[in-house]
Chains A and B, each alone.
Chain A
Amino acid sequence: MAELSTPHRRWTPARLDVRLKLALLCTASLASLQMQLYGLLGLLLPFALLAIARRASLGARIRELRWVFWILALVFAARALFTEGAPLVSLGPVAVTRQGLQEAVNACLRLALMFVLGGVFIGLTPTGEIKAAVQWYLRPIPGVPAARVATMLGLIARFIPVIFAEAARTSEAQRARLGDRRRSPVGRLATFGLPLVRRIVLSADRLALAMEARCYSELRTEPELAARGRDFLAFGLGLAMLAVALAV
């Protein structure tokens, strides 16, 4: 909201209108399925350079994203081992083929591009704006209560950290009374799961009351989104880059 309240803040690519950003992200995901090695490399290159330029915080980021590398490794292995073609190295019944290697590299680059673009999008866009964009795209679809969906999205974004916090609190309270000495998974489920669900339901109840007290209605002030000339220019530039990447 604070972003929306200061419309004359200096424009940067990061402040590109959220609907166009979302459209660009979707187009890029679809286009990347058709891209080959050089196209993918070309799109990833600017991000890699940017990452190197800001390497100060990179170490911690990479440690946070360990699981991404595991997924990439898994995809690579699967593609390399199970693609038909001329074998390069054989490992018993399976063989690493030339085509397989090519496929594996492409698949990994595609996935990496997805992660990078998705991460950049989420990092640069306040949740409130994403919510507003989803509402804007859903509005023309008949039968879809766009405002309600947007409110739900906002509540989910708000609730996920609460659920983790509640889980941590429940677990702490039980460990303090040696609850972790129970070994049976069924017992665990009953002593940990049930109180946790109860607390979450209770806090959802209280939240519903608080929303009612503040006059919640689906007819609300609409979020304000504005795409200006520069937004469309940046959007066009993004599309052109994708087209070039598809062509090479």
Chain B
Amino acid sequence: MAAIIEIRNLVHRFADGTTGLDGVSLDILAGSFVVLAGANGSGKTTLLRHLNGLLTPTSGTVRVAGLPVAQNRLRARMQVGMIFQDAESQIVGETVAADVAFGPENLRLDRCEVDRRVAAALAAVGLEAAGDRRPHLLSGGEKRRLSIAGVLAMQPQVLVFDEPFSNLDYSGVRQVLGRMVDLHRAGRTLVVTTHDLDKVLAHADRLILLDRGRIAADGDPAAVAAAAEAFGVRCPPLAAERLSWLN
């Protein structure tokens, strides 16, 4: 399968001189389910923000579907949907339905298509009955699912999740994980960062460990997970058996 994301020698230095990424090279195949793990501050969020041009490389290139992101930001953002670490701060609309409509409206789709996509996206995350509710009154899990719906409505090829399980209870984790697995089955490419390998490992087909802005290990989830402890990520017990949270 072809690589949908190609990263070459990506270096990112922040304005204050902190090095966020230090020479990352990486290909992500279309349709794969990639987990990105690493200790706090290892550069996971920074890496994700390069995938849709929210950050500009200090050096190196990022390509999405063959085109460099730096010159094609809008296209990259249409192809790479991002679900942020903090669900609350990515809510834009005054109602749940208005929030989901925000992306499609930016794409200038006609009103019928916007409404159709909003309905489909809300149904996909099980929020179809909440269309008129105020987003800030939703529970943490519902907010997370709302932010997924907002991205789904734009129908991106790649979905990027930054810590999708933080602050979620058991059923919240299962709901979000269930949606992720559905999307992967439907052929989307998923890139997920997490500290909790336990929750996604069974469904991933690749695990990448980041350490201080560099790729420390990359490969088969079970094999890489065994080496994770050295980089500040807990290796789940029985990683090799790949027990799913969904059963």
Contacts and interface: CB of A to CB of B under 8 A. Distances in A.
B54 A1 contact: no
Q: Is the contact region of chain A dominated by helix, strand, or loop, or is it mixed?
A: helix
Nearest to A212: B54
B105 A220 contact: yes
B150 A214 contact: yes
Interface in B88-121: 88-95, 97-98, 101-111, 114-115, 118-119
Interface string A149-169: 000001101100110010000
Given A2-B132, A158-B91, A165-B136, A214 B109 contact: no
A158 B98 CA distance: 11
A135 to B, nearest CB: 12
Interface residues of B, number: 42
B109 A221 contact: yes
A155 B93 CA distance: 7
B106 to A, nearest CB: 4
Interface string A190-232: 0000000000000100110111111111011110100000000
Interface string B66-81: 0000000010011001
A162 B54 CA distance: 24
> What's the interface size class on A, roughly?
20 to 34
B90 A220 contact: no
A128 interface: yes
A158 B91 CA distance: 9
Nearest to A215: B106
Contacts of A128: 93-95, 98
A127 interface: yes
A126 B93 contact: no
B97 A1 contact: yes
B52 interface: yes
B126 interface: no
A88 interface: no
B115 A4 contact: yes
Query: Quick one: which of A1, A162, A209 has the most chain B CB within 10 A?
Result: A1
A116 to B, nearest CB: 24
Given A128-B98, A214-B102, A215-B78, A2 B131 contact: yes
13 contacts: A4-B111, A126-B132, A128-B93, A158-B136, A162-B88, A162-B136, A203-B89, A206-B84, A210-B89, A213-B81, A213-B84, A214-B102, A214-B106
